[in-house]
Amino acid sequence: MKSIQNTARFAGVLYLIITVAAIVAHQYVPSTLIVSGDAATTASNIAASETLFRVGGVGSELIILLSEIVLAVVLYVLLKPVNKTLSLIAAVSRLAMTTIHGLNLLNYYFVLSLVSGTGYVTAFAPEQINALVSLFLDAHHYGFTIGIAFLTIHVFVLGYLILKSGYFPNVLGILFLAAGVGYLVDSFALLLSTSYDTTPIFLAIPIALAEIAFPLWLLIKGVNTEGWKKLVPATA
Amino acid at 235: T
- Residue pair 191/126 in contact by the 8 Å Cβ criterion: no
Q: Domain-by-domain residue ranges, the chain?
A: 2-235
Interval 54-70: pLDDT, tens: 999 999 999 999 999 99
Interval 167-194: pLDDT, tens: 999 999 999 999 999 999 999 999 999 8
> What pLDDT is stored for residue 105 in this prediction?
96
Gap between the Cα atoms of 23 and 61, Å rounded:
10
Amino acid at 93: S
Q: What is the CA radius of gyration of the chain?
A: 20
**Reported pTM:** 0.91
Element (H, E) at 119: none
